[in-house]
């Protein structure tokens, strides 16, 4: 039995996070194995070190939306989902 | 488009252009004489923030999510309160001090529901809708930090 | 007239003529870029009251006391809440369904005080300001009865 | 020693009360003796019977303003005061 292909999500970085990471977004292949969740995305990015580890690390407030709906760490993510990372909102 | 869909389509708008409060209220009331109460909130750009002068304020948002998020807040307000119409207009792009940022207008038969729904929408918008403010000050540009008091305000409506 | 007296003189108006919400807000803000929040309430004539159709609504008041009473409410709102400006415009005479009756507008740095002060003024106006409504219905004219819910709303602010 | 002259107040009737009493107001001389209060005014009027007794009697909600300020039953009234009687207000 072959491994299933990795889940690939589209990442969107917004506001301060876009500036700090120097990118508006990218495609990310999640590690195969365990079911992919929002936490998986964050862990995968943090493992890169550098600005990713700093901006998404402990004590940094990061909000996540999956397919345009606010999401929590243990919400599932699936193939082709749009996963947006951003700081707490400040509109109004 | 069904009449319901048309109604909902007019509930929220995200735009660079300014808005006219009286025109928005008139459109929301639309001559409906069941309305006895109109509560309105307008947020405006302050010229001072955290002690520093503000030259311009730039509002970024998350196209695609913004309208959905605002509509979800409006739908929840309509579910919780006895209101006829709710309208949200939020500007994006570069604004100057004293400019209008956001409008929330609510019509109801009675003032209690109009006030409650208007405040509910603002409190949720402040914590749930994907907008971010960046200020240009004499000391340089900086992203506005979220305020704990806004989380507390939204928390009061939980149930 | 001192600047303070001029400010206060503009706080309240009782008039037969209609008012323009956007113009009143603009005058109240007067380009003051300390303002970050504008809460507004407009009361309007409903076409149905206690199950009967309303053809016209006539508002009587007590000249001499009316402005003093409104000013006292505005002064108390300014004392209790952190607001910059408060404006009340109340119409008298004969009105038709959907007509505007009353405007309360409040400016503040932050939305909490703006909402609170606006609601406070309306709740007190409803129980303390000498206005009376008389409805013309197909069954004849009748004076509107005061509502216990209005007393309860004002009571919530006692302290 | 002669009695002091009676306190005379100017009465104003408003809204439903004006219609029910068939008058917009009048001058009223209060009975000499005890200090004049809002309650004295109401008792003097009720003693007339008829519409006055009916409109100002027990169970009827009547509000009183003395010189344009809301007043209670035991508030004092003096010579020349404007005393307004009206139903609970219904503006806004």
User: Where in chain A does DSSP place strands (E)?
Assistant: 8-13, 25-29, 63-66, 69-71, 82-86
Residue C7: per-residue pLDDT? 52
Identify which of B25, B34, B46 has the shortest CB distance to residue C34.
B46
CB pairs under 8 A between B and C: 109
Identify which of C33, C37, C114 has the shortest CB distance to residue B47.
C33
Eight-class DSSP state of D76: B
A13-33: average pLDDT = 96
Dihedral sign, Cα of residue C138, residue C141, residue C142, residue C144: positive
The per-residue pLDDT string of chain C (159 residues; one tens digit each, 9 = 90 and over) reads: 444 544 554 799 999 999 999 999 999 999 899 999 999 999 999 998 877 898 999 999 999 999 999 999 999 999 999 999 999 999 999 999 999 999 999 999 999 999 999 999 999 999 999 999 999 999 899 999 999 999 999 999 987
B92-120: average pLDDT = 98
Å between A63 CA and nearest CA of chain B? 10
Å between B123 CA and nearest CA of chain A? 9
Tell me the per-residue pLDDT of C32-77, one tens digit each, with 9 for 90 and over. Answer: 999 999 999 999 999 988 778 989 999 999 999 999 999 999 999 9
Q: Which residue of C has its CA nearest to B99?
A: C33
* Average pLDDT score, chain D: 94
Q: Which residue of B has its CA nearest to C43?
A: B37
Give D9-64 as a DSSP string. Answer: EEEEE-HHHHHHHT-SEEEEEPPSSSPPBHHHHHHHHHTT-HHHHHHHSTT---EE
* Assembly ipTM: 0.92
Å between D63 CA and nearest CA of chain C? 10
Answer whether B146 sits within 8 Å of A12, measured CB to CB: no
A20-38: average pLDDT = 94
Backbone angles phi, psi at B66, to 5 degrees: -60, -55
Neighboring chain A residues of B154 at a CB cutoff of 8 Å:
none
- The dotted CATH code for D8-86 is 3.10.20.30
Residues of chain B that touch chain A, judged by Cβ-Cβ distance less than 8 Å:
43, 59-62, 64-65, 68-69, 90, 101-102, 122, 125-134, 143-146
Å between C46 CA and nearest CA of chain B? 5
Other beta carbons less than 10 A from residue D57's beta carbon? 11
Residue spans of the domains in chain D: they are: 8-86
Neighboring chain A residues of B62 at a CB cutoff of 8 Å:
12, 14, 65, 68, 84, 86
3-class DSSP state of B17: coil
Q: Given CB atoms, is D88 within the 8 Å cutoff of chain C?
A: yes
Q: Given CB atoms, is B111 within the 8 Å cutoff of chain C?
A: yes
């Amino acid at each position: 039995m072959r491994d299933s292909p990795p889940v690939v999500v589209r990442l969107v970085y917004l506001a301060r996070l876009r500036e700090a990471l120097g990118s508006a977004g990218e495609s990310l292949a999640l590690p195969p194995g365990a079911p992919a969740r929002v936490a998986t995305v964050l862990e995968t990015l943090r493992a890169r070190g550098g600005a990713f580890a700093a901006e998404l690390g402990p004590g940094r407030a990061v909000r996540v939306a999956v397919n345009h709906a606010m999401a929590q760490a243990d919400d599932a993510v699936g193939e082709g989902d749009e996963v947006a990372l951003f700081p707490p909102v400040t509109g109004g | 488009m069904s009449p319901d869909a048309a109604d909902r389509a007019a509930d929220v708008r995200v735009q660079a252009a300014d808005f006219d409060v009286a025109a928005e209220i008139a459109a929301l009331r639309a001559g409906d004489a069941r309305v006895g109460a109109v509560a309105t909130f307008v947020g405006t750009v302050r010229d001072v923030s955290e002690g520093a002068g503000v030259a311009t304020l730039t509002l970024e948002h998350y196209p695609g999510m913004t309208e959905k998020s605002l509509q979800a807040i409006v739908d929840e307000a309509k579910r919780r309160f006895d209101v006829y119409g709710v309208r949200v207009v939020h500007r994006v792009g570069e604004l100057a001090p004293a400019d209008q940022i956001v409008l929330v207008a609510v019509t109801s038969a009675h003032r209690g529901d109009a006030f409650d729904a208007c405040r509910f929408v603002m409190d949720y918008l402040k914590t749930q809708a994907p907008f971010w403010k960046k200020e240009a000050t004499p000391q340089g540009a900086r992203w506005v930090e979220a305020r704990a008091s806004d989380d507390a305000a939204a928390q009061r409506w939980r149930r």
